[in-house]
Amino acid sequence: MTTPDLSEFHLPGRGRGLLDVFHWRYLLRLLVRKGTQTRYRNSILGWVWSYVKPAAQFAVFYIVMGQFLNLSRTIDNFAVYLFSGIVVINFFTEAFGNATNSIVDNGALVKKIYLPRELFPIAAVLVALTHFLPQFVILMVVCVLMGWIPTLGNLVAIVLALVIVGILALGMGLFFGALNVAYRDASNFVEIILMFATWSAPVLYSWTLVQETVPSWMFTIYQLNPLTMAVELFHKGTWFLTSDRSLPLIPDLWLHSLISLGVALVCLLVGQWVFRRCERQFAQEL
């Protein structure tokens, strides 16, 4: 009796993880298109909400932090400083939050057919990037009107900031998205993380305030926070060129940015490992 050749067969429900996404690019495009088209379905304002929501958020923070707490007097061009930080944090919170819920939200597909489950968190991050673009365009227009003339280093800083945020959001989204299938408490825990996200980076305050008020070891940890460095990189690429530079950028910006990129990559690897460990149970749990 001969042994059948099973070399061309694969264990059901197991693939190559994130690498399989490259072979399912068409489906990924469909998921991103679906996510962008259905976001404001049956909405009168539609995509205008992509401008209204961050504008309202900016107005509240600017009035409270800039006027009531007088940060507009201590940070030159505080409006651009604030908005450049808000758009980065908004990208992270939407990408991370949506990636966490992506498997549960697409439970009908997960239960019916096999496809790389990583498609859903990745599509969630790309949809968040799509919604980030209108806010970024507004920021760029304002910066150009204020004399923004970027160098290659500034453009690299902007791209690196988005890469760090995207990788971090995807890694954490894979991790909590897998846990959220079996334990819905994960989504509540993510909401707590997102609540602190804005305050974990120099968006509503300057990094010098942290340096002056916490021990040096705590400030070192603060510098290694990927969101901190992503916001500072975005400040370098946008706000810093429009200010009087009385407030310097965080020390060793590029070194700490590369370390933060490494931290984000570690989060991605851990998230992918946990996701692959749990994905075979997704259909049963859902």
Determine the Cα–Cα distance for residues 179 and 23; give it in Å rounded to an integer. 26
pLDDT tens-digit profile of 121-135?
999 999 999 888 888
Instruction: Tell me what the mean pLDDT of segment 142-151 comes to.
Output: 86
Is residue 169 scored above 70 in pLDDT? yes
Looking at residue 54, what is its pLDDT? 74
What is the value of pTM for the model shown?
A: 0.88
pLDDT band at 72 (very low <50, low <70, confident <90, very high): confident
Instruction: Tell me what the mean pLDDT of segment 2-16 comes to.
Output: 56
Determine the Cα–Cα distance for residues 67 and 78; give it in Å rounded to an integer. 10
DSSP, res 1: -
Task: Provide the residue type at 243 as one letter.
Answer: S
pLDDT tens-digit profile of 192-213?
999 888 889 999 888 999 999 9
Q: Which residue has the higher pLDDT, 286 or 24?
A: 24
Is residue 148 scored above 60 in pLDDT? yes
Looking at residue 90, what is its pLDDT? 92
Looking at residue 185, what is its pLDDT? 80
Give the SS3 label for residue 262.
helix
Instruction: Tell me what the mean pLDDT of segment 137-157 comes to.
Output: 88
Q: Quote the percentage of the chain above a pLDDT of 90.
A: 36
Give the CA count within 13 Å in the CB-facing half-sphere of 254.
4
Cβ-proximal residues to 150 (8 Å cutoff; 6+ apart), any chain? 237, 241
Looking at residue 286, what is its pLDDT? 60
Tell me what the pLDDT averaged over the chain comes to.
Answer: 84
Task: Provide the residue type at 148 as one letter.
Answer: W
Looking at residue 41, what is its pLDDT? 66
pLDDT band at 9 (very low <50, low <70, confident <90, very high): low
Instruction: Tell me what the mean pLDDT of segment 167-184 comes to.
Output: 90
Residue with tokens 């993510």: 190
Looking at residue 232, what is its pLDDT? 95
pLDDT tens-digit profile of 239-276?
998 888 888 889 899 999 999 999 999 999 999 999 88
Q: In this structure, are residues 170 and 122 in contact, taking their beta carbons and an 8 Å threshold?
A: yes
Is residue 63 scored above 70 in pLDDT? yes
